[in-house]
Amino acid sequence: MKQWLIPGLILSSLVVAGCGKKSEPTPEAAAPAPEQSQAPALTAEPSQDDSERAKKQALLDFANMEDKFINDPLAQWAATGKASSTFGDDNGGEPSASNLASNVTGAVDGKTWTNNKQDVGTDWLEATFAKPVAATEVRVVFSSGEGVEAVSKVELQDTSGNWNTVWSGLSDVKEDDRGGRTWFVKTFEKTSYQATAVKITIANNVQRGYKVVDAVQLVGQ
């Protein structure tokens, strides 16, 4: 065989071999696994025992809070009280003793002051204290929360007779359903003056109905 035919034969063989070889199939991309929907977690309904325990815990928390306030060594109760109006004072006679502002003196005892307006204008309640103090907090006890949301200003009187506003605005205190009273509490920076009296102003239309206060506390040293 002539030598020039050998390379040609080799080349032909390679071409034929290449044509006869099957191409490898391209692997298809794996399809993403379908997302499995997760069933919402079931929340167990509280049992009757759990509900009763929660109610008792709320009552216990209220009792502990009141005990702390009532026995606070830095707190003193009002010695006198007067107000802009008293329930029944527009009937041509003396209002009932059960509604007088003087009832806010002393500790919580169920004796209360009741104003004479449900939703008209403003009223104020003023309480004085035996010992002047650099004050840090005022607490006003509302019977059943009646009027606590309507408090719009708290003022302190100094030993010179001047009134100083320590808070004003819309009350963020809501009726406390854990007990028969709601404590309106406002804390502030210690006053640079000695406070001798507290005055709260009530915007009657903010919380319609008569406002009923049991006691007033001034906290300070």
pLDDT in tens, 196-220: 999 999 999 999 999 999 999 999 9
pLDDT in tens, 38-96: 666 666 787 888 899 999 999 999 999 999 999 999 999 999 999 999 999 988 778 99
pLDDT band at 15 (very low <50, low <70, confident <90, very high): very low
Q: What mean pLDDT comes out for the span 18-43? A: 55
Please tell me the predicted confidence (pLDDT) of residue 176. 96
Q: In this structure, is residue 61 part of a structural domain?
A: no
Residue 27 has pLDDT above 80, yes or no: no
Q: In this structure, is residue 208 part of a structural domain?
A: yes
Please tell me the predicted confidence (pLDDT) of residue 127. 98
Tell me the whole-structure pTM to 2 decimals. 0.78
pLDDT in tens, 130-172: 999 999 999 999 999 999 999 999 999 999 999 999 999 999 9
Please tell me the predicted confidence (pLDDT) of residue 177. 93
Residue 34 has pLDDT above 70, yes or no: no
Q: In this structure, is residue 122 part of a structural domain?
A: yes
Q: In this structure, is residue 47 part of a structural domain?
A: no
Q: In this structure, is residue 186 part of a structural domain?
A: yes
Question: 149, exposed or middle or buried, with CB in 10 Å at 0-12, 13-18, 19+?
Answer: buried
Please tell me the predicted confidence (pLDDT) of residue 36. 59
What string of DSSP letters covers 82-149? EES--TTTTSSSPPPGGG-GGGGSSS--S--EE-S-SSSSEEEEEEEEEEEE-EEEEEEEEETTTTGG
> How many structural domains is the chain composed of?
1
CATH code of the domain containing 82: 2.60.120.260
Residue 114 lies in domain: 77-220
Residue 181 has pLDDT above 70, yes or no: yes
Q: Torsions phi, psi of 219, nearest 5?
A: -115, 130
Higher model confidence: residue 186 or residue 23? 186
Please tell me the predicted confidence (pLDDT) of residue 90. 85
Q: In this structure, is residue 13 part of a structural domain?
A: no
